[in-house]
Amino acid sequence: MTTPTHIIQENGSSRFPLIDNLRSFEEQIRFTVAQMDGSSFWALSLWRAPEGANLRASLPRSEDYIQCAGDAGGVTIEVRSTDATGTAHHYTVGKPGTHATGEPTETIRWDSGRRGTQVHTNEVFTIDEAAELVIAYYRDDRLPAEYTLRELRAV
């Protein structure tokens, strides 16, 4: 088993280190995202643990992460990153080669429909697409450059 370096959080509460004892890290991510059903499991976040963290002792949070929410009907993906000045930026991810204008018109729901968000059509992903983006983030701590980012306003 490889030493875990990333932490997964489900539904905004349950956190655990990403482990590869049954599946590779990438297969574990793919399997976990595929379980998103919108009611009992609807959201996943992933971030790198700090260098040298003892994940058996604690599961620290990070300012930089990827998160997705939804179900087989549609998934929204967001990333949060901190720039060189220490300023945090929170983005909704869009598909490569697409740029939306105007107000978002698509609704992604989760938590048995109790929660949701408005996104643009190019920001709706399938479960498989979401899994591949989470895997890409796991590998590089960032998304592939071809994806578009729409910064969310702080509320």
Domain ranges of the chain: 6-151
> What confidence score (pLDDT) does residue 95 get?
95
pLDDT class for 4, splitting at 50, 70, 90?
Answer: low
pLDDT class for 136, splitting at 50, 70, 90?
Answer: very high
> What confidence score (pLDDT) does residue 109 get?
94
> What confidence score (pLDDT) does residue 37 get?
94
Q: What is the pLDDT of residues 97-115, one digit of tens each?
A: 877 788 899 999 999 999 9
Task: Write down the pTM of the prediction.
Answer: 0.90
Distance of CA 50 to CAs 19, 26, 45, 120, 121, Å?
16, 20, 16, 33, 35
> What confidence score (pLDDT) does residue 104 get?
92
Q: What is the pLDDT of residues 70-103, one digit of tens each?
A: 999 999 999 999 999 999 999 999 999 877 788 8
Q: Where are the alpha helices (DSSP H) in the chain?
A: 25-34, 127-140
pLDDT class for 8, splitting at 50, 70, 90?
Answer: confident
Counts for the chain of helices (H) and strands (E), in that order: 2, 9
> What confidence score (pLDDT) does residue 33 get?
95
pLDDT surpassing 90 at residue 130: yes
Q: What is the pLDDT of residues 22-72, one digit of tens each?
A: 888 899 999 999 999 999 999 999 998 877 777 777 777 888 999 999 999
Q: d(Cα 84, Cα 106) in Å, to the nearest integer? A: 33
